[in-house]
Structure 1
Amino acid sequence: MESTDHMRFFAVPVVLLVLSFLFLSSRRRRGTLQLPPSPISLPIIGHLHLLAPIPHQSLHRLSQRLGDIFSFRLGSVPCLAVSSASAAREILRTQELAFSSRPMSKAVGYLTYGASGIAFAPYGPYWKYMKKLCMSELLGARTLDLLLPIRRDEVVALVRTLYDMSKEGRTTVDMGGELVRLTNNVICRMTMSRRCSGTEGDLEEVRKIVAGVAELFGKFNLADYIGICKDWDLQGLDKRIEDIHRRFDSMMERILKEKEASRRKQGGGMKDLLDTLLDISEDASAEVRLSRHDIKAFLLDMFVGGTDTSAITMEWALAELINHPNILRKARDEIEAVVGKKRLVAESDLANLPYLQAIVKETMRLHPTVPLIIRQSSRVCKIKGYDVPANTTVFVNMWAIGKDPKQWSEPLEFQPERFTEVGGHNVDVRGQHFELIPFGSGRRICPGTSLALQLVQSALGALIQCFDWEAEGGGTVDMAEGLGLTVPRAKPLVCTPVPRLNPLPLD
């Protein structure tokens, strides 16, 4: 008994000595790391207070003081902000494998069925399979060509709707709502062979779900960053997350059951993307057996990534054109020279409309719909001479890069000509030129890039060709930004479309 007491007596200081040694060793190792500069933090919350109300703008202001790469903490989570094309290249290309995964937030994990689908799945075999499936079957060139009539139908329907509204004497139109209707119907028909706006209730439900998901993905939830808040719903977000998930799951379950019933009755025929996903889920020899949750998560990716972002890009572009009538006239002159007035601009015309393409590029530079590329480091690595620890959340600020005066002359001005002049006409948006990466870059570049560009350019071309545009009440359009994962306008674009061709060239 006495021997045991002596052992306990000596064990306590030995344990304390070992722990002290490990702590001091850790401090010394950290002291040898060359970490990026960091602003002064507060206890517990770190730098959360510095990122309100619009994170990408706040990070941009900090970068002007701290440089194009700096570290910060969101609660207990180490983070890195990158605001230059050269640093973005190091993360997204040079050391891409170390930054190929995305951090998992509470909202993302719950709403995407545990990061199924493709947008938020961890980098690994499942994600690689889904990416290959997207590029070969779901969103590849062959599939997009087959589904071209759907995009054409919906662009024609939008133009006809706006024309009818003007003939009925409606002086103003919420163009944000009309553009969401366009993109919603394109995605719904491509994925499920049905229009989401068959009834106003269906359309409104899809719009609310997409807007809610985008907002929740973009919110800083204290439970994700501060340990003591993990089990507390201090911001009231848990109830909203659960409500949106329940509504989306219910809608998708109904659609899946209807699709399965129609497949049993009809057998073959033209397949949509949902048919392809269900075929794979029923194929016992498939490389990866897709579960029902996997299919629902992929459809959520399609809705959020394919409707909200494209509609917002067109809304920003139209707002800029209203504020710059000379650019609008120049774009219309180009379209009339190539297309004329007797037929509607088509996707096949886009290659011959470089100024229209430049307008879209300039819109994506000034108003990237997803302003921050968010990744997570899987190992310790060096970026521009600084050490980046493993499990660091990285924010590549595309919004700031698009306004970098080292990359762009007069960066705050809307000047499409910068993409038609020598030196700028070759700048692409497909992830190769890091001063302009609205769709990301590398392995995790958005798989819907081609679809988005085809739809946005052809629809915007039709709106330019067929209508003159006036801001509500005259004057200019307010260009303030709103909140969310995407960058919506703070105020809806309410304007007046004035038909300029009679009859409309809709055949």
Structure 2
Amino acid sequence: MATALDFINYCYLFFFWIVATLIWSSFVRTLSNFRSNIRHPPSPPALPFIGHLHLLSSKLPKSFETLAKRYGPLMQIRIGDTNFLVASDASLAKEILKTHDVDFASKYQFGGGQNLIYKDLSFINCPYGTYWRFMKKLCVTKLFAGPQIDRFIHIREQETLKLLKSLINRASKAEASDLSMELSTLTNNMICRMALGKKWSENPNLPMEIKNLVRAIMGSGAKLGFLEIFGPLSRFDISGNGKKLRDALWAFDRVLEQIMKDYGTMEMKDGTREGEKDVMDILLETYRDPNAELKLTKEQIRFFFLELFLAGVDTTSAAVQWVMAELINHPEVFKKLRLEIESVVGSSRLVKESDIPNLPYLQAVVKETLRIHPPGALLRRQCNQDCKLGGYDVKQGTKILINTYTIMRDPKTWHEPDKFLPERFLMNSADNFELGNKGQDFNFLPFGSGRRACIGQPHASIVLHATIGSLIRCFDWKLQDAEKVDIKVVTGYAGAVAHSLMCYPITHFDPFKG
């Protein structure tokens, strides 16, 4: 009995020792900050061990917005053992993304990085340096340059026609369509054909295989708990979802490895590869080029493709879903947009990509949707050297979060910021199709800005406008179980739609007749 009591007492003492140590460490940290000459941004009161986790909900951008109203546009937040600076206004975004662009040109992995099978091979999240500059140059000159995007116009048109045919078939049977799934398939097929077109021509089932793998990866990642990603449990795979994520990543890696081998076989068999080059062709050419500025590895190429699918498929399809949701909820905007489309394209054809510059209201609708539902509500940057930001001292290595959700709903900039009002973008429509003057309007940052702005913006812009134009041109829409779409987002920091968009398409114009 005495032994049991002694054990309990030891447990209590051990517990109080841990708490006391954490409180003392927090006190020492606060005291050292107070005594130093470094001027830190304001910060809410933190708890030992968990930092500010108790102040954050699963909807991070909204939580940061609430805290910023009390602690200011630049504040220090500690999540677990990691400190972040959160910037929540356009002037700070301009300092970070333009004035000090080079100083903040690095990025970092935002949670879950311990589950990646590729270590230090990311292009999207890698530090600013030789590898990133080489890949960025390759992207803007060869992979996603204007001529390369134009070369794939037939792929975008063919996949859009497939989508329309599927919806017209459902309309003829008065069947509901899962528009979320249809749009995800559309964007996945487009990227798969542009990236792996030669392999796709041999195996038309490849897009679905890739889609299922990417969905498995995203599904496993989404099941990781909030504390497993951001908190003190991030180093432990308590739920087992980390292992599932790694297994899904390895499955994708094996498929890409086989695809790369198949491309090598095709090269040997054909001698030379004439005609349209896909993304894999260009990357493998660079891999084999002895005079390339930097020697790519096959592992880097495989990870690049994973990031291409993860970043390009669901973000673009989610953006189209948000536009459709807002148009269904605002029938007066829907009607005005259709009238504009029909006045430009006439009564006998679909919207073409070449029509988009002549459709200012369509551009305004897309921009307003991206303002309210940004595809990336939190931009990540890391400080490369000591500097000042908003009058505060920022040390090298500091992690930055730019809350574009708050910036694009700032009432000082936007009249009635929570309302869907596309007309606000018609007041200055000269640069509408550039989606924010190429990131130089720091009140509007759906694709970021500066060196680390989204490289897929030109492709995403074309797909968004052309797809919305076709869906409005061809169909009226009726929700399956409601009058209006329930405007909710998934948890976390992404901008995906929470529920599938189930609707009945009602044919207004059939492009396959006559």
Give the TM-score of the pair, scaled to structure 1: 0.89
Letter aligned with residue 455 of structure 2: P
For the 8 Å contact 2:474–2:508, the answer to whether it is kept is yes
Structure-2 residue corresponding to 1:100: 105
Q: Please say if 1:177 is aligned against 2:185.
A: no
Q: Distance in 2 between matches of 1:92 and 1:200?
A: 36
Can you list the C-alpha shifts for 1:49-103, whole angstroms capped at 9, x where unaligned? Answer: 2222111111111112212111111122221111111111111111112211112
Q: Distance in 1 between matches of 2:90 and 2:401?
A: 13
SS of 2:366's equivalent in the other structure is helix
Q: Please say if 1:471 is aligned against 2:485.
A: no
Q: Please say if 1:86 is aligned against 2:94.
A: no
Structure-2 residue corresponding to 1:152: 157
For the 8 Å contact 1:54–1:483, the answer to whether it is kept is yes
Q: Distance in 1 between matches of 2:296 and 2:204?
A: 28
Q: Please say if 1:310 is aligned against 2:316.
A: yes
For the 8 Å contact 2:53–2:79, the answer to whether it is kept is yes
Q: Please say if 1:68 is aligned against 2:76.
A: no
Q: Please say if 1:504 is aligned against 2:511.
A: yes
* Residue pairs, 1:131-150, within 5 angstroms: 131-150=136-155
Is the deviation greater in 251-260 or in 43-52? 251-260
Structure-2 residue corresponding to 1:205: 212
Report the CA distance between 1:163 and its aligned residue. Answer: 0.5
For the 8 Å contact 1:90–1:383, the answer to whether it is kept is yes
For the 8 Å contact 1:361–1:429, the answer to whether it is kept is no
Q: How many residues align?
A: 480
Structure-2 residue corresponding to 1:339: 345
Q: Distance in 2 between matches of 1:246 and 1:422?
A: 48
Q: Please say if 1:36 is aligned against 2:41.
A: yes
Structure-2 residue corresponding to 1:288: 294
Report the CA distance between 1:393 and its aligned residue. Answer: 1.3
Report the CA distance between 1:490 and its aligned residue. Answer: 1.4
* Residue pairs, 1:293-442, within 5 angstroms: 293-422=299-428, 428=436, 430-442=438-450
Letter aligned with residue 367 of structure 1: H
SS of 1:96's equivalent in the other structure is coil
Structure-2 residue corresponding to 1:274: 280
Q: What is the CA RMSD across the aligned residues, in angstroms?
A: 2.5
Letter aligned with residue 244 of structure 2: R
For the 8 Å contact 2:41–2:392, the answer to whether it is kept is yes
Letter aligned with residue 261 of structure 1: T
Letter aligned with residue 251 of structure 1: V
Structure-2 residue corresponding to 1:13: none
Structure-2 residue corresponding to 1:245: 249
Report the CA distance between 1:241 and its aligned residue. Answer: 2.8
Report the CA distance between 1:122 and its aligned residue. Answer: 1.3
SS of 2:504's equivalent in the other structure is strand
Cα distance, 1:330–1:224 mapped onto 2, change above 3 Å:
closer
Cα distance, 1:188–1:199 mapped onto 2, change above 3 Å:
closer
Share of identical aligned residues, percent? 37
Cα distance, 1:207–1:78 mapped onto 2, change above 3 Å:
closer
SS of 2:112's equivalent in the other structure is helix
Any gaps of 5 or more consecutive residues in structure 2?
1-27
SS of 2:77's equivalent in the other structure is strand
Give the TM-score of the pair, scaled to structure 2: 0.87
Cα distance, 1:437–1:24 mapped onto 2, change above 3 Å:
closer
Report the CA distance between 1:492 and its aligned residue. Answer: 1.1
Q: Distance in 2 between matches of 1:506 and 1:33?
A: 71
Any gaps of 5 or more consecutive residues in structure 1?
1-22
For the 8 Å contact 1:374–1:395, the answer to whether it is kept is yes
Structure-2 residue corresponding to 1:161: 166
